[in-house]
Amino acid sequence: MASAHTAHGSVVLAAVAGLAAGAISMATGEYVSVSSEAAAHEALWAKCFSIPLASRSIRRCIATLVRQAT
């Protein structure tokens, strides 16, 4: 019953703090996701361009890159 007498300002402050914490958490998660995806994509590019152009592997590698891009 302690919360029955909470001031209006405290409730608003808690709501704003929760909103800010959620936004920061979502932004951090998105940044980590995009960063790791970019690193994986760069690694695949490096792998593709280390393969001799005449091999079938280069075609498969490029096809994988195209599928990931869409």
pLDDT (tens, 9 = 90+) of the chain, 70 residues, equals: 455 676 888 889 999 999 999 999 999 999 998 888 888 877 777 777 776 666 677 777 777 777 876 6
The pTM for the full model equals 0.53
Between CA 58 and CA 52 the distance in angstroms is: 7
- Residue 35's pLDDT is 85
Which amino acid belongs to residue 17?
A
Q: How many residues does the chain have?
A: 70
Between CA 42 and CA 47 the distance in angstroms is: 9
- Residue 19's pLDDT is 96
- Residue 55's pLDDT is 67
Token digits of residue 36: 């790791």
